[in-house]
Amino acid sequence: MGLRERVKNVLLKGYEYRLTRWLDGRQRPRHVGVVLDGNRRWAKEAGFTDVAHGHRAGARKILELLSWCREAEVEVVTLWMLSTDNLDRPADELVPLLDIIADIVDELAEPGNPWRIRHVGALDLLPTETAARLSAASLRTRSRTGLEVNVAVGYGGRQEIADAVRKLLLEHAESGGTIEELAEVLDVDHIAEHLYTSGQPDPDLLIRTSGEQRLSGFMLWQSAHSEFWFCEAYWPEFRRTDFLRALRDYALRHRRFGS
């Protein structure tokens, strides 16, 4: 490492320290959602012909993010790792990506780690082996008391709402109720109770990397009152400094919840 890089790192550490001190005692998000975007573009700009290198780099970044969230006393993190639209990618990219995702989730579920894994998404849309690995990881960690990590794989916001309504209708039918009876009492809470994230607080802060300033359907229902933060860096380049800046901006916002 050259002198310029060493000086840059020292200055960055000092900046992170000041941000951390400033955040002390200020409002923090309980639930942070992250759109892990830009892995493929990062790989291509780095000169890799195989974009799987970008996905692997992005997977390694997840471990860093969770440690930062733990330091910040975040309770729930939702990681959008694969959308329902991504399932249409060519097999030569999708198959390695699914393996990389399953590998990092297995790593999070290893003994000694504090994370509680929860899959959010449509398992029936995933290959059988991938679905089995994600479900097994969730089962292995269900007794843990640490940070809850939602792995959004095969996830789409519209799909989630459709699945929630379907589950609600089936549950009502099994109890012997009619559609007319359900229509008379149906409210937003009934649907919320059947979402993938049922029982969890809605996300306070949603982060998207890579410079794209849209949610693309991420947590459509839950994000009604979320604060959004967009970052230019590709996901593999996302730094602790960026995360602390997101927390700082969140702390400065006055959340009125429509009032």
What is residue 143's DSSP assignment? T
Please enumerate, by residue number, every residue annotated as part of a binding site for Mg(2+).
Answer: 37, 227
Please enumerate, by residue number, every residue annotated as part of a binding site.
Answer: 37-42, 55, 83-85, 89, 208, 214-216, 227
What pLDDT was estimated at residue 124? 95
What pLDDT was estimated at residue 18? 95
Nearest C-alpha neighbor of 204 from the set 76, 117, 83, 22 = 76
* Residue 128 located in a structural domain: yes
* Residue 168 located in a structural domain: yes
- 38: exposed, middle or buried (Cβ count in 10 Å: 0-12, 13-18, 19+): buried
Residues 31-41: tens digit of each pLDDT: 999 999 999 99
Side by side, the strands of the sheet bearing 148-155 are 116-120, 148-155, 76-83, 31-35, 205-208, 227-230
Look up the domain containing 228 and give its range: 27-252
- Enumerate the active-site residues: 37, 86
Write the CATH number for 240. 3.40.1180.10
* Residue 162 located in a structural domain: yes
Whether residue 137 contacts residue 108, with contact meaning beta carbons closer than 8 Å, is answered with yes
What pLDDT was estimated at residue 51? 95
What pLDDT was estimated at residue 54? 97
> Which residues of the chain fall short of a pLDDT of 70?
1, 255-259
What pLDDT was estimated at residue 27? 94
* Residue 5 located in a structural domain: no
What pLDDT was estimated at residue 259? 57
* Residue 35 located in a structural domain: yes
How far apart are the C-alpha atoms of 38 and 230, rounded to whole Å? 12
* Residue 14 located in a structural domain: no
* Residue 18 located in a structural domain: no
* Residue 226 located in a structural domain: yes
What pLDDT was estimated at residue 11? 86
Residues 141-171: tens digit of each pLDDT: 999 999 999 999 999 999 999 999 999 999 9
What pLDDT was estimated at residue 257? 64
pTM of the model: 0.94
Listed in sequence order, the residues at least 6 apart from 132 whose beta carbon sits closer than 8 Å to its beta carbon are none
Provide the domain count of the chain: 1
